[in-house]
Structure 1
Amino acid sequence: MAKKVASKIDSKVKKESQDNYLDYVPIISDKHRWETDEEGNVTIFIENKGIFNWLAQKLLKKPKVSQLHLEKFGSFIFPLIDGKTSIYEIGQKVGAHFGDEAEPLYPRLTKYIKMLYDYGFVSYLRP
């Protein structure tokens, strides 16, 4: 029985490691509102929910909605996450726009999109 479980886990790990992350298609989560200002800078609005946030809002005058302002690379990348464009294609556009300033392009881009995923700002459509 233990061998069956171990082999299922091993096959799942092998399959996931064979997936090419650059083929993934990120899509922006609808849990957070975001907007772009006139200069092209993206701001993500995060609603502070839960009992601890409620207490902080009442006692410490913390805001109900926090704002996350993205820098120039993030502000360029975030609108490209449309549920149709793969991470590889986003990288091509970033490279064309920023040139050598974006290097090392794909390691930085994949780490950035993984961070967006970890914080719940995006999800993935697998190929």
Structure 2
Amino acid sequence: MKEKDKVNLFDVIPYISEHVTTEKEGDLSVIVFPRFRNKFMQRYFVPRGRSAYLHVKLEDHGTAVWDLIDGKRTIKEIAELLAEHFDHEENYEYRITKYIGQLYSNGFIKYKTAL
């Protein structure tokens, strides 16, 4: 990667992938996404009697992070807004970036760079 192509992760703007929706279960968020994105796969490979969608219930910290991912805030802004939620614990920024990275790896979110 060229030096000019490198981007600081804190300057990246995460946004929710188009195939993912969010439901609320009390105060917690539930990520809902299809078992298969391909229509053929959905039709023929979803077990009979099972939902075509998977549900991932987030815990308190995960919900706090997820609720701030709006496609407008950078990861740095999200971390700053969550300082109180994490009681300013040591390295809470690392936990947030690691969690957002996991959401990205699982395809729940995508990144865009600030212009």
Tell me which interval the TM-score lies in, with the shorter structure as reference length: 0.7 to 0.9
Corresponding residue for residue 31 of structure 1: 19
Aligned mate of 1:15, from 4, 28, 32? 4
1:122 matched to 2:112? The reply is: no
TM-score normalized by the length of structure 1: 0.74
2 CA distance for matches of 1:56 and 1:77?
30
Query: How many residues of Structure 1 are paired with residues of Structure 2 in the alignment?
Result: 111
Q: Which runs of 5+ in 1 are unaligned?
A: 1-11
Q: Deviations over 1:72-116 (max 9, x none)?
A: 111011110011111111111111222145x42121111111111
Aligned residues: CA RMSD: 2.1
Cα pair 2:35 2:46 within 8 Å, conserved: no
The one-letter amino acid paired with 1:55 is: F
2 CA distance for matches of 1:56 and 1:63?
7
Corresponding residue for residue 55 of structure 1: 45
Corresponding residue for residue 107 of structure 1: 94
- Larger relative strand fraction: 2
Deviation at 1:56, TM superposition (A): 4.8
The one-letter amino acid paired with 1:122 is: I
Query: Runs in 1 of length 4+ with deviation above 6 angstroms?
Result: none
1:41 matched to 2:28? The reply is: yes
The one-letter amino acid paired with 1:85 is: R
Indicate the structure (1 or 2) with the bigger Cα radius of gyration: 1
- Larger relative helix fraction: 1
TM-score normalized by the length of structure 2: 0.81
Corresponding residue for residue 91 of structure 1: 79
Distance change >3 Å, CA 52–CA 45, structure 1 → 2: closer
